[in-house]
Amino acid sequence: MEKVAVYCRLSDEDRDKKYKFDDSESIQNQKNMLTKYAIEQGWSIYNIYSDDDYSGLDANRPEFNKMIQDAEDGKFNIILSKSQSRFTRDMELVEKYLHNKFLQWNIRFVSLNDFVDTYQKGGKKARQINGLVNEWYCEDISEAIRSTFRSKIEDGKFIGSFATYGYIKDPKDKNRIVVDDMAAENVRLIFQLYMEGNGTQHIAFILNERGIPCPTKYKQMQGLNYVNAGQKDKFGLWNKTTVKRILRNQMYIGNMVQGKVKKASYKSNKKINIDKEDWVIVEGTHEAIIDKSTFDAVQKRIKANTRSSGTGQAHIFATKVRCMDCGSTMSKTSNNPKNGNRVSYLRCQLYAKTGKKSKLCSGHMIRFDELEKIVSDKMKEHFQLIDNQFVSSKLQQQLETSNRISILKKELDKNNSLIEEKSIIIKSLYVDKVKGIIDDVQFSEMNLLFAKEKESLIRRQEEINRTIEEMQSRINDVDRYVAVVNKYKNIEKLNHAIVNKFIDYIEIGEKNKDKERVIKIKWLFWF
């Protein structure tokens, strides 16, 4: 008696049927149809192999490969499928098995719907044409899906399976992401730690020490079926690569970043990285977790390749100090005195690399504590100078602005009443026209007059609202300025946050023959 292997397959595209109640493509229906046919032919069913949710182009289907191995081992001599496309949509697999391996293994392939039977003479060309049509179908479907996805990402719609760490997919809209408060706090912590001078490796250590699960582990703890192919352990630990990836991600300032990878082809699952300039970035698509000024400051530090010391923290002037003559970054170094009083210096990096003999530059050496005192004194001097006079003038400005807003709001209320009055008059004119109190010419003239007056009032209303909004913003700025002055006017010690907030860069000159040195500080003060 002939032994037959029944093969069934269902993929995602089969689920999107025109009619929801059409189960003609279901796995169970395929099994029933094929087992009935096998029994009618008098064949003994060796096994039923079934792959659910697999594409016909996928050569790594588990049941398919198990069946192929059993075929090679001679456990049956017939493979029965609903159609050739159920078996495969890949032309290479058609040639490999139907016209090569199956002949070697004495395996007969039969499909019901398209009447394929490899024991029939002269059917090879029909099977090849069938295979090409099936593959073209997949190519067309792939192009249509790719086009749809491209349109969505250009519109700023999220198309990923899993949201970026710090966000979740909106339950009401799968193409939108919203902030995940718990994970977002960890993202803010990472940016804060980095701005405080911690290196990425040290940040990873801090997160692990606090027992915070890494993004992969966190998603899995939320019940998501998330798999990270690059995961190196199962303990949910952070590493510097993950930290740096978060620090560089524009998603955290509200920009949708997609199109970073693409499939090599519709027949392959291999992913190809896309050049950064070709990524699709749509700004302002979702709520930001990190403000743009902080994000930009972080990118500047990363670009400058800020290195931390043995403690895991970079020094407070890292990337900020440069040689006035050659422009090289000033790097930190320390002497190693015999008495144990270690002193730290900053010196020209070009000089450090090339030495005295090259004469490309000189050391420009300055004690770290000396520079720290100079900068601190200059900053205190600035805040003390602006303290009383500045705060007083700003508060006076705030009072005047508040008074002006009150006047504008009164005008706005009056304007709204006039607009409502004009609307009532226009309606009354129409009623008078219908009743015959005024004729068409009178109606047109008066209607045009009042409509123009209403339009002018509406434009003024919009102008008043814009002005009030701008003035309110200035009041908020005054509050912010006063808060900054009060916070920093009595600073005792510089730290990373203060340096990053108020200093763009510092240039160190070499000492002249009188042992005097020029130091230039480019401040970021906005007042």
In the DSSP assignment, the letter for residue 235 is S
Beta bridge mates, 48: 6
Q: Which CATH architecture has domain 167-303?
A: Alpha-Beta Complex (3.90)
What does the CA dihedral 302, 308, 314, 318 come to, rounded to 10 degrees?
A: -50
Residue 165 confidence (pLDDT): 94
pLDDT at site 78: 94
Q: Where in the chain is the domain with CATH 1.10.287?
A: 370-494
Question: Per-residue pLDDT tens for 169-206?
Answer: 999 898 899 999 999 999 999 999 988 888 888 899 99
| Residue 20 exposed, middle or buried by CB count within 10 Å (0-12, 13-18, 19+) | exposed
Task: Return residue ranges of the chain for CATH 3.40.50.1390.
Answer: 3-154
Q: What is the pLDDT of residue 17?
A: 42
**Domain 370-494 class in CATH:** mainly alpha
- Distance CA(41)–CA(416), nearest Å, equals 86
* C-alpha–C-alpha distance, residues 43 and 5, integer Å: 10
End-to-end CA distance of the chain: 95
Between CA 72 and CA 81, with CA 75 as vertex, the angle to 5 degrees is 80
- Smallest CA-to-CA distance from 277 within 257, 297, 252, 249 is with 257
What pLDDT tens digit does each residue of the chain (527 aa) get?
789 999 999 875 554 443 333 444 578 888 998 999 999 999 999 999 999 888 877 888 899 999 999 999 999 999 999 888 888 888 888 889 988 899 999 999 999 888 888 888 767 767 777 766 667 666 666 566 667 767 788 888 898 888 999 999 999 898 899 999 999 999 999 999 988 888 888 899 999 989 999 998 888 888 887 766 555 555 678 998 999 999 999 999 999 998 888 766 555 566 788 888 888 889 999 999 999 888 998 888 888 765 555 555 678 888 789 899 898 888 888 876 666 677 888 998 888 888 777 778 888 889 998 998 888 888 888 777 765 555 666 666 667 777 888 888 888 888 888 888 888 888 888 788 777 888 888 888 888 888 888 888 888 888 888 888 877 776 666 666 667 777 777 777 888 778 887 888 899 999 888 888 899 988 876 55
pLDDT in tens, 374-426: 888 888 887 777 655 556 666 666 677 778 888 888 888 888 888 888 888 88
Please report the pLDDT score of residue 249 as a whole number: 93
The 10 Å Cβ neighbour count of residue 136 is: 12
In the chain, where does the domain assigned CATH 3.90.1750 lie? 167-303
Q: Beta-carbon neighbour count of residue 322 at 10 Å?
A: 20
The amino acid that residue 232 corresponds to is: K
pLDDT for position 62: 92
According to CATH, the superfamily of the domain at 3-154 is Resolvase, N-terminal catalytic domain (3.40.50.1390)
The pLDDT assigned to 263 comes to 66
d(CA 298, CA 318): 12
Task: State the sign of the Cα–Cα–Cα–Cα dihedral 470, 471, 475, 477.
Answer: positive
Q: Which alpha helices (DSSP H) does 160-239 contain, by range? A: 181-195, 200-209, 215-221
> Quick one: how far is CA 361 from the chain centroid?
43
The Cβ-side half-sphere exposure at 277, using a 13 Å CA radius, reads: 0
| 162, 188 Cβ separation under 8 angstroms | no
